[in-house]
Structure 1
Amino acid sequence: MTFLHLAASAGYTMPPTWRILTKSGYFAGLAGAIGATVTYATTVRPALRAADNQDDREVLRRRAASYLAWAGVVLLVSGYAQLAARVARAGKGMPFGDALAPGALWDFLRAPAAKGAWIAQGTLYLVQNLVLVLAAAALAALFLPRVRRHLDALALAALPLTLAVSLVAAIPATAPKDAEKVVDLVLGQVHIVSGTVWTGGLAVLAALASTRRRLSDDAGTLWADLWRRFSLVALVCVGAVLTSGLWMSWKHVGGIAQLWTTGYGLFLLIKIALVLGMITAGGVNQFWLMPRIVRARRAEDAGSLLHLTLRHFPVVVWAEVALGVAVLAVVPFLSGSARSEAGSPPAVSDAGVMAVGATLVLTLAASLFITARTSDALARRGDDVAVAVA
């Protein structure tokens, strides 16, 4: 029995193919745009500004500009397809091909507000897509050579716009019933934004690393700085993904057994395995490669530094990117909940649940802090060993 047949036998309804493609494509578009702009602002831009070699800086700036421009195109196309998917699922529904028509989209966006709503849902989607067009236009403008002179300004301007694409869509048209619904919305966006920054950031750095043949022999120092800066960003994202993921898993899964007895649980189990694979690959970078990079940099070993930063490190990062793409492919299958499939009661939070959640968050934060300190300690221990041998 195949996995899909197993999910179907558990009472799970498979989404249509167009829904799978549009939702995966939309999150890929978000990852490309949000991940690229955030990573450029927090990692690439400051590292390039601190670099000494002008030629290396220009090579990476050109590649970063091209990546951001294509990210704008992908965001625009995937956003249009996602809007059509919303139209196809609205009301009584319609064929996806018919939903692609501009007239159908416009009718959906102009639909009046539902009873009790403070704003029409279509109006919120209209605002979201206007922001999406602005973000895509700002990024796609980087195809023009003259515009690339203002790469920093455009990337920084596009950053809040790309974030707003996701955040605006999460605004509820009706007031949340209680504080728990607000927590659901906030942690849902934390999960999306942190996940797209993590996956999209890995992708943009992997793409930049492909320029190694055009970089100088001293580029290892620049890339050591790039990997160091992004490692801190990735640690924050991992913490946010795990924290929000634990909350959402508790909301949708009523017991461990539901992970393999319901369709939703089976797909969630796959997603968890893929995310753990990404964390494991990141651990290889943090505990093995980063300490070696730090030691090579302190020893001013340009050859080893270049080999580690532009040979070894990107290989592991590409593996993380592949796992991240697989996660995006699984996301469309996470519809409904394991609780509803199994007939379990909905999750209800209380003081005890909140206390357990707070404890888990503090434990996770402490573990991430220990991870960063352990990586630094491994680098220092390597230096001490080298001195003792000498």
Structure 2
Amino acid sequence: MNHLLSAANTVGYTMPPVWRILTKTGYFIGLSGSIGATVTYATTVRPALRAAGTDTRDATVLRSRSATFLAGAGVALLVAGYFQLAARVARAGKGMPFGDALAPGAIRDYLRAPAAKDAWIAQGTVHLVQNAVLAVTAAALMALFIPAARRHTDAIALTALPLSLAVSLIAAVPTTAPADLDRWLDLAFDQTHIVSGTVWLGGLAALVALVGTRGRLGDGAGLLWADLWRRFSLVAMICVGAVTVSGLWLSWKHVGGISQLWTTGYGIALLVKILLVVGLVAAGAVNQFWLMPRIVRARRADDTATLLHLTLRHFPKVVWGEVALGLAVLVVMPFLAGSARTEAGSAKAVSSGSVFAAGAALVAALAVSLYATAKASDALSRRQDASPATA
């Protein structure tokens, strides 16, 4: 945090107020909860439970905890959405104190304000639609607090999933036509970054919450959890690729040179974020190259005791570290205000054929790298499986 606070001393950088830091961080936590939990439930938890058998005790316990987490995510989204809307009101026009922006009257006036000149829709209208969808999403998730609704957890989660995504996507709708292709790409990559990041971090938090049920699970739960970690590892790998590609584009747009990472306020905040994300990727690598092969080996050997220990003791410890790093990333996000290029007086980034060619090469290289990672993890599993058993 000292590095972030030192950003205030750089020329041309404005440190965001405390209320802005809290509301934006809270908003991304709310999005991570709703998007991450619903996507993880749909891609990881639900199929793993179906494969294990819906009538087993372990599946019942995990489904109940999933419903509780989804319901809590609805509460977090609703609260965060309200404060984020008030923050938008406080920053609109000439601005107003955040305390005044919390008043329903101020929010109503903002949502009803007419469109600006040359705008096809009012900014307030966009946020009105967004928050209406947000309220419906939160209500659907919070319905899972009701015991009777839990019989329909699958349907509710799958309904809330596209609604959760829409909450973020609607907010990105431009009120005026983007001037060029770069602006369209900025919008697309920004949403890719947000959605993939919230799926990754929110999914980690959801699985950590499910680990809390281990005291109520049977001795054979390791097999189910091995499947959960395997499925989510694939989801996380896809998210890492999307975060990396979109992050490279956004960094290039806002940073004109490596030195700007430590000479501008925006750059310092971005550098801290990059280091935290590298820590997340490193923790994921530990899971992929060390823990997953051991889990696969124990699964093939039908070693239930070791499997239970690895999946519900060792693996969650690393994931807890990832969750902590993820929360730190969300705290840093509000400090990414403005642009390092603007602070340093650098020229605006403009795309060209060579930029797109370099980007395509990077995407191809990343895809090959992720594929190689998956194959290497699988190879390690087979090699360990062929080696003598170790304690």
Shorter-chain TM-score bucket reads over 0.9
Whole-angstrom distance in 1 between the partners of 2:298 and 2:45? 21
* Counterpart among 199, 203, 206 of residue 204 in structure 1: 206
Q: Which amino acid aligns with 1:311?
A: R
Q: Distance in 2 between matches of 1:264 and 1:138?
A: 38
CA-CA distance at 1:375 after TM superposition: 0.4
Q: CA deviation at 1:366?
A: 0.6
Structure-to-structure mapping, 1:2-81, within 5 angstroms: 2-4=2-4, 6-11=6-11, 12-52=13-53, 54-81=56-83
Equivalence for 1:337: 339
Indicate if the aligned counterparts of 2:78 and 2:134 stay in contact, CA closer than 8 A. yes
Aligned structure 1 segments of 4 or more residues deviating by more than 4 angstroms: none
- Rounded to whole Å, the distance in 1 between the matches of 2:241 and 2:203 is 16
Query: What secondary structure sits across from 2:157 in the alignment?
Result: helix
* CA pair 4-270 structure 1, distance change in 2 beyond 3 A: closer
User: Is 2:4–2:335's contact at 8 Å kept on the other side of the alignment?
Assistant: no
- Structure 1 residues 351, 23: closer, same or farther in 2, change over 3 A? same
CA distance in 1, matches of 2:384, 2:186: 45
AA in 1 matched with 2:15? M
Deviations 1:23-48 (A, max 9, x none): 00000000000000000000000001
The within-5 A match list for 1:214-233 is 214-233=216-235
* 1:151 counterpart (146, 150, 153): 153
Match of 2:181 in 1: 179
The letter for the 1-side match of 2:27 is: Y
Distance 1:137 1:175 in 2: 33
Q: How far did 1:210 drift? A: 1.1
Share of identical aligned residues, percent? 71
Q: How big is the shift at 1:372?
A: 0.5
Structural mapping, 1:112-127, within 5 Å = 112-127=114-129
Distance 1:370 1:185 in 2: 30
Amino acid at match of 1:61: R
Q: Report what 2:265 is aligned to.
A: 263
Conservation of the 8 A alpha-carbon contact between 2:4 and 2:268: no
- Measure the CA separation in 2 of the matches of 1:339 and 1:63: 46
Please tell me the residue identity of whatever aligns with 2:205: A
Name the count of aligned residue pairs: 388
For 2:292, the equivalent position in structure 1 comes to: 290
Task: Provide the C-alpha distance between the structure 2 equivalents of 1:21 and 1:184, rounded to a whole number of angstroms.
Answer: 25
Q: Secondary structure at the match of 2:118?
A: coil
> Quick one: which of 350, 353, 358 aligns to 2:352?
350
Contact 2:143-2:149 within 8 A present in 1 as well: yes
SS at match of 1:116: coil
Task: Tell me, in whole angstroms, the C-alpha distance in 2 between the residues paired with 1:285 and 1:6.
Answer: 34
Q: Distance in 1 between matches of 2:135 and 2:3?
A: 38
The alpha-carbon deviation at position 383 of structure 1 amounts to: 1.5
Q: Are the counterparts in 1 of residues 25 and 333 from structure 2 also a CA contact under 8 Å?
A: yes
* Structural RMSD (CA): 1.2
Q: TM-score, normalised by structure 1?
A: 0.98
Shift of 1:114: 1.0
Query: Hey, what does 2:112 align to over in structure 1?
Result: 110
Q: 1:29 to 1:5 in 2, by over 3 A?
A: closer
Shift of 1:8: 2.0
**Shift of residue 121 of structure 1?**
1.1
Which amino acid in the other structure matches residue 214 of structure 2? Answer: R
1: CA distance, partners of 2:111 / 2:49: 42
What's the counterpart of residue 86 of structure 2? 84
Q: Secondary structure at the residue paired with 1:182? A: helix
Q: Which runs of 5+ in 1 are unaligned?
A: none
Q: Offset of 1:2 from its aligned partner? A: 4.6
* Deviations 1:263-315, CA, capped at 9 Å, x for gaps: 11001000000000000000000000000000100000000000000000000
Looking at structure 2, the residues matched to 6 and 317 of structure 1 have their Cα atoms a distance apart, in angstroms, of 30
Distance apart, 1:16 and its partner CA:
0.5
What is the CA–CA distance in structure 2 between the aligned matches of 1:5 and 1:198, rounded to whole Å?
27
Aligned to 2:309: 307
Secondary structure at the aligned position of 2:244 is classed as helix
| Aligned-residue offset at 1:386 | 3.4
Cα distance in 2 between the residues matched to 1:124 and 1:285 = 41
Tell me which amino acid in the other structure corresponds to 2:36.
Answer: G
Residue equivalent to 2:382: 380
1:4 to partner: Cα distance:
4.7
Q: Does 1:141 align with 2:143?
A: yes
Q: Structure 1 counterpart of 2:20, which letter?
A: R
- 1:176-215 CA distance string (max 9 Å, x none): 1111111110000000000000000000001101111100
Structure 2: which amino acid aligns with 1:38?
Answer: V
Distance 2:361 2:311 in 1: 37
The whole-number CA distance in structure 2 between the counterparts of 1:108 and 1:346 is: 32
Worse-matched range after superposition: 376-385 or 20-29: 376-385
In 2, distance between residues paired with 1:9 and 1:233? Answer: 40
Structure 2: segments with no counterpart, 5+ residues:
none
